[in-house]
Structure formats: structure tokens, C-alpha cells
Amino acid sequence: MSKYNRINRLRKKLTSIFRKKLPEIPPASIEKPEDVKRVLLIRPNHRLGNQLMVTPILNEVSSTFPDAKIDLFLKGNAGLIIFKNFDCIDRILRLPKKHFKEFFHYLISFWSLKNREYDVVINVTLGSSSGKLATHHARSKIKLSSEELNNRIKNKYPDAIHMAKNSVYRLRAALKGDIDNLDEKPIPTLSLALSEHELKKAKDVVEQKLGKADKIISIFTHATGAKKLSKEWWYAFYDRLKQDFPDYKILEILPIENISSIDFKAPNYYGKDIRMISAVIQQTDLFIGTDSGIMHLAATSNTACIGLFCVSKPEVYAPYNKGSFAFLVENTSINELVSQVHNSLSA
């Protein structure tokens, strides 16, 4: 283990200790929504999927408080790309990805939370120690970070456990003053607010790869650590897709490592621009991929997604958009997955 990994483990341990010593933030109510002009959303995690799952609460806040300016407190640089087309955002405050290499920047980023007073502060994910510390540090009389309220909401609405939905439920509870009928309207799905120019460019890219194809299935075969499926599994599944869906062309979306679990047997798209990856996937009829940031990126498109899980909990991390499904691979046969592909394409 490297020196920085050891230090980061110590940092996480100390942060967790500090978090447990902080007083519990009580439930809060927003009695005058028309007076809300500044909102802070806190999600200091650098992973692509975790930041993409901020977009539902961002869209909910923007529609609920149309005159409000929204600041984001994030980590790393991905947020600058993810949220570039959201006009409601005023500032993006960022913790550095490497805390101890940029320790001064780290302290300055936390201190910048004191520069403004907010009407509402929302801790997007309550399990984050850094998020809880930042929520306590921020200046606001209304802070949505109550564990007690969150537990009551999850008991009543099972889908509130999902990372993309949880903070939306908590905001609605704060507006209503109770937890009844919080699901009476749909929760916003993931979004990148792609422009027409981005979509047109992606359409041209796909046409260069596949020609004028009307029917396309996109796949993502990579994942990290225990989330990864074997090459044998992917070869078997890829062969079934070709066999059962001969009218569809298959486009593999490649990871940043530029590797393929089917050894580049299918036409593929490789790029580092996450917005273009999402736009390319939107040109396809269905996305099938392993639990990863790219899976959540696919969910920001209008393309239905099938997420393949090994270790993570689908109820928390499933792809979230219209027509999305998640499967634990160890409990699901290839025949069952192919059946779902048929259903998704028919829909």
C-alpha cells in the first residue's frame, strides 16, 4: 500500500470519528418556499456515478425554487463537465481529489462554505462523513440532513433508499411538513442537459461507426474489482445477443482503459468526453452494462438501461431513468436477461 493510500485511510477514519461526534441535525421545514433564493447541494465525492446522481435533486430544486441560485459542493473536476449546461447553478465549490497533495486547497474549499449564507442546505447523501461535516460548516438556518426523518421516509417509501431519489424525498418532506404523499409526482431522472449540437455530433459518430443503422444495442463490458464479469460470461452473452437480435447492430462503449471483455469483437466507441459518451448511447435503442460510472452515464440519456450487478445493492445503485432495470447476475440466467432485452426493445 502506498504512502498516500495509508494517509487517505487515516483521513477517512478521522473524518468518520469527527462525524460521529457532531450533533444530530434535527428535521427542518421550509415554510415559505417563495423566500428561497440560495440553495447549497453538498456531495463531496469524486466518482462519476455519485455526482451524476445529484442531477435529480438539482432538477427538483430548480423546479421547486425557480428564482433560486444553486451552489454545489463537490469533489474533483467531473462536476465542471457534468453540470456545465445547468443555468440554475451559480457556483461549483470543489474539494481536491487528492487531499494531501493539495491540502491547502482542501482547507480553502471547506472555508469557502462560510462565504455565503444559504436559505437551504441539502446534504445529498447522508452516509458521507465529508458531506455531514460540510453541512455542519455551511451557513443556513435550514439544513436537510436529518437521519431520523430519513429513516421514517425509507420505512414508508422503499425506493427512497436509492441514492438518486433519497434527497428528493427529504426535500419534499421539508416542504410538506410531513411524509404523506411524497411520491404523488415522479422523481426527476438523471440528466446531463445535453445540447442539440452534442446530440447531432454523436449521431454523426455512430453513423461513421455503424453506417445508417436503425436498430442498435450498446454494451459496456468493463467494471472495476469485484463488479467485473468474466470474459467467458460476456462472450456467452454477446453471442446470444447476436443470435437472438440479428436485426440489431451492437456497439461496445469502451472504458478509459481502452479494454474490452469481448476482445473488440464488436464495433466500438472510445472517448474521454463523458458528455459525448452519453450522447452516443442516446443514439442506441438499449444499453446493457455492468455496475459502473458509465452505467449511470447511460442513465442520463433517453435510452433504456439494463444494469448488471455483482456486489453492489441494486436497490441503492440501479440505473435510474425511464425503462431501466437492474439484475444481480448470480441470481439471473442469460435466458432471463435475453427475455428482458426482448421486453425492453419491444417497449
User: CA-CA distance, 238 to 225, in Å (whole number)?
Assistant: 21
Domains 3-176 and 196-346 share a fold: yes
Paired residues of 299 in beta bridges: none
pLDDT in tens, the chain (347 residues): 555 556 566 656 666 665 566 778 889 999 999 999 999 999 999 999 999 999 999 999 999 999 999 999 999 999 999 999 999 999 999 998 876 666 667 777 878 888 899 999 999 999 888 899 999 999 999 999 999 999 999 999 999 999 999 999 999 999 999 999 999 999 999 999 999 999 999 999 999 999 999 999 999 999 999 999 999 999 999 999 999 999 999 999 999 999 999 999 999 999 999 999 999 999 999 999 999 999 999 999 999 999 999 988 999 999 999 999 999 999 999 999 999 999 999 98
pTM comes to 0.92
CA 76 from chain centre, in angstroms, equals 15
Where are the chain's structural domains? 3-176, 196-346
CATH architecture under which domain 196-346 falls: 3-Layer(aba) Sandwich (3.40)
Q: Which CATH code is given to the segment(s) 3-176?
A: 3.40.50.2000
> Looking at residue 106, what is its pLDDT?
74
Q: What is the DSSP string of 144-201?
A: E--HHHHHHHHHH-GGGGSTTTHHHHHHHHHHHSS-TTTTSSPPP-------HHHHHH
